[in-house]
Structure 1
Amino acid sequence: MVQMTRLLDAQGLEISHAGHRTRLKWHRLRKRFADPLFSAAVMAEGFAAGASMELDLRVRADGGFVVLHDEDLDGETTGHGPIAEKSMGDLSDIRMQEGDRPLILSEDLAAMMQSTHPAALLQFDMKDDYEAIGARGIAHLAEHFRDIAASVIVSGGSLDLIVAVKEKLPHLLRGIDPTDKLYDIWKASGWKAVETELRADLSGPTEPDTVYLHWRLILDAAKEGLNLIGLCQDHGKRVDAWTFTLRDPEAGFSDEEWRNFQALMALKPDQITTDEAPATERAWGRRMAD
């Protein structure tokens, strides 16, 4: 295992620039876009290497969770119907469409996280709101993720959910994603209103560790003189800029991608979400060496 960690140490984990380290987060447990969606094998590799990774969780009918993005089983899996109506037993024979793999349940996650690299970070992106998850879902998280080796950050669009996580699982990190709301406010009322709303979220009851912001929103705001990353960092929060994925990982950055990525890196995000972490790191190194 030590050999694997050394081997992967400089592959898709972070980029250092101007004295600042920006982690590269593996989106939906993909180190590369060619990896299967939500792969337990890739997650194990990331745990060994100390990677930052993200997965999506959907609540089950029994209060537990399954690692899937959509609210229905159709599409990502061989099953059908709403996940919220399925219990653990209902999901046992269902497979992922890619690779005929079993679904990853929250119980499986807890078992996998008993031993990891100390730098490993796993983001639970909660796709349901607090009304759907409720006290039973929060209690399930508390029962299964109270004593784990890896660091976990729980994020979601529902602020009520994140507050509930804070109250029941205070040892877990928390994240908020106000992107959609901020886009709507920008279109309706302009950038000053965006700044006001974000400041309120940063000092609000969720007490987030990390704020997740779409990279285009960050750059659009910066062009108008509003540094969203700096604003969050001034409040002691980290910023994850999502999701920047190279269109051609072998060729590296196109000229447009390079302009955008350079502008993003100049603002010093703490983390960038990508489906092509090693390729992004390689492409950055090639461009900086030119």
Structure 2
Amino acid sequence: MTPAPPPTPTDIHIDGRVIRLKWHRARRTATDAPFTPGRIVEGLACGASVEIDVRTGPGGVPLIRHDPLRWWRRVRPVNLMPLSVIGEELGSRGVVELPAEARLQLDIKDTARVLTTDVAQQISAAVNSFADAVIVSGNDPVAVARIAKQDPRTATGHDPCTRSAVRRLRRTGDVDGFVSAALEADRAAGIIYLDHRIILALAATGRDIVASFHAAGRQVDAFTLTGPDPETLGQARALIDLGADQITTDDPEGMYRALRSVPRT
């Protein structure tokens, strides 16, 4: 079956379901530079799901940045892009209202030790004009909650795939314990972000972790697939069949075209 064209360029519609292809690091295509303000705003304006990384910068200013603190000295100041540029870009383009399906995931890379209440307030202020479209996520639920409490419009998600949690899961095979811990970490989280390798590895053993989170009322995002080569396309189709609600990819446009062009078996 070939999916019908969706209203959003990178959402797949199959059998009455909508599977979102999230723009990893705000890239629409594999050749895009990451975290370009123009691409971030373009994605939001067309109703896409867009992910960016956020870190605390010098002076407590929240930055759109993936790299850890120790790398800052290797980068010229021009590359330290404040989170506030998104609102400024929206304003300069005259974008007053975003489509209801637009989502901007702020993947928080700092722990609560670094992300103080002052920084949380600055993050909330930077996205205030479009807070309805914002999801705050990360490995540290305390840091995420510190931001979310600043504005009741801000949704949250949780990524339980820390190195220690994944090692424990591999060692013990305790899927139920992994799921329970993830749900307990952020009870308000509407979406759980899972490494696609965990989902597929468990499925190969007969365990459906996506179904477990669905049973608890959570959506599931599977991260991160690269471009639409044969292996990755096979993984994407398997994730869709397993019920993933969203797939994070470095090439959402290419993945969208490839998934639509090849009928499912």
TM bucket normalised to smaller: 0.7 to 0.9
Shift of 1:262: 1.9
Pairs aligned (count): 255
SS in 2 for 1:179: coil
* Residues in 2 aligned to 1:35 and 1:161: alpha-carbon distance in whole angstroms: 30
Residue of 62, 73, 85 corresponding to 1:80: 73
Going from structure 1 to structure 2, the CA distance change for 1:142 and 1:214 (only over 3 Å counts) comes to: same
* Residues in 2 aligned to 1:220 and 1:67: alpha-carbon distance in whole angstroms: 32
Residue of structure 2 equivalent to 1:269? 244
Residue type of the alignment partner of 2:225? F
Shift of 1:222: 1.2
Q: Tell me, yes or no, if the aligned pair for 2:136 and 2:148 is still in contact at 8 Å.
A: no
Residue of 225, 243, 262 corresponding to 2:206: 225
Gaps of 5+ in 2: 1-5
Shift of 1:72: 4.2
* Residues in 1 aligned to 2:257 and 2:186: alpha-carbon distance in whole angstroms: 40
* Residues in 1 aligned to 2:99 and 2:261: alpha-carbon distance in whole angstroms: 28
Residue of 155, 168, 177 corresponding to 2:150: 168
Gaps of 5+ in 1: 1-7, 83-92, 97-102, 247-251
Residue of structure 1 equivalent to 2:61? 64
Residue of structure 1 equivalent to 2:30? 33
Shift of 1:175: 1.0
Residue of structure 2 equivalent to 1:117? 99
Shift of 1:94: 2.6
Going from structure 1 to structure 2, the CA distance change for 1:187 and 1:204 (only over 3 Å counts) comes to: closer
Residue of 122, 127, 137 corresponding to 2:109: 127
Residue of structure 2 equivalent to 1:286? 261
Shift of 1:18: 2.7
Residue type of the alignment partner of 1:16? H
Q: Does 1:19 align with 2:42?
A: no
Residue type of the alignment partner of 1:111? E
Going from structure 1 to structure 2, the CA distance change for 1:73 and 1:28 (only over 3 Å counts) comes to: farther
Instruction: Work out which of the two has the higher radius of gyration on C-alpha atoms and give 1 or 2.
Output: 1
Q: Tell me, yes or no, if the aligned pair for 2:169 and 2:178 is still in contact at 8 Å.
A: no
Going from structure 1 to structure 2, the CA distance change for 1:186 and 1:50 (only over 3 Å counts) comes to: same
* Residues in 1 aligned to 2:221 and 2:104: alpha-carbon distance in whole angstroms: 13
Q: Tell me, yes or no, if the aligned pair for 1:122 and 1:150 is still in contact at 8 Å.
A: no
Q: Percent identity?
A: 27
SS in 2 for 1:69: coil
Q: Tell me, yes or no, if the aligned pair for 2:37 and 2:85 is still in contact at 8 Å.
A: no
Residue type of the alignment partner of 1:80? R
Instruction: Give the 5 Å matches for 1:190-205.
Output: 190=173, 193-205=174-186
